[in-house]
């Protein structure tokens, strides 16, 4: 698995220390949260025999790559906090980045996002959300 993650504004080491997330991930068999956050940016890291990770400091709007993904987990903040990431053009960009039969998934269940995904050509389903979220969206590129 090749996993690419985008972060426009990564937290500093000091900010991460204050959050103390490491205490929630102390028993991770492969990679602790602290080790994950300390991995270098912009360089692919082999985490295990079958898992490579690339952390990129970039806004989604500025991201371009010649690769196609099988899965996109679109984990942007909600449209109230980052409206620029929930536009038709961003959903279209996701469509261009994903392989046929690829899956786009997000905790967002906003109707306008669902309709944009359907207009672009995704088959969209509402799924039960995680704790604290009523629903989420899964879209399959058809």
70 and 135 both lie in a single domain? yes
115 and 97 both lie in a single domain? yes
* The pTM of the whole model exceeds 0.85: yes
* Residue 76: predicted pLDDT: 87
Question: Residue 63 in 3-state DSSP?
Answer: coil
63 and 49 both lie in a single domain? no
Q: Assign residue 66 the CATH number of its domain.
A: 3.40.50.150
User: Which residues are registered as beta bridge partners of 4?
Assistant: 54
* Residue 131: predicted pLDDT: 87
What DSSP element (H or E) covers 42?
A: none
CA distances from 75 to 3, 15, 48, 72, 133 (A): 14, 20, 24, 9, 13
105 and 53 both lie in a single domain? no
Report d(CA 79, CA 84) in Å as an integer: 8
81 and 49 both lie in a single domain? no
Domain count, the chain: 2
Residue 47: φ, ψ to 5°: -80, -40
**Residue range 59-102, pLDDT digits in tens:** 999 999 998 999 999 998 888 889 999 999 999 999 999 999 99
Please tell me what DSSP assigns to residue 94. H
């Amino acid at each position: 698995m090749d996993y690419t993650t985008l972060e426009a504004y990564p937290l500093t080491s000091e900010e991460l220390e204050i959050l103390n997330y490491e205490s929630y991930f102390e028993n991770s068999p492969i990679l602790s949260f602290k080790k994950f956050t300390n991995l270098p940016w912009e360089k692919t890291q082999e985490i295990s025999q079958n898992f490579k990770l690339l952390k990129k400091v970039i806004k989604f709007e500025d991201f371009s790559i010649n690769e196609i993904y099988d899965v996109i987990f679109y984990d942007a903040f909600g449209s109230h906090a980052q409206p620029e990431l929930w536009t038709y053009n961003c959903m279209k960009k996701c469509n261009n980045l994903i392989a046929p039969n690829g899956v786009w998934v997000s905790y967002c269940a906003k109707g306008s996002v669902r309709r944009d995904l359907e207009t672009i050509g995704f088959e969209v389903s509402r799924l039960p959300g995680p704790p604290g979220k009523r629903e989420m969206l899964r879209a399959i590129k058809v």
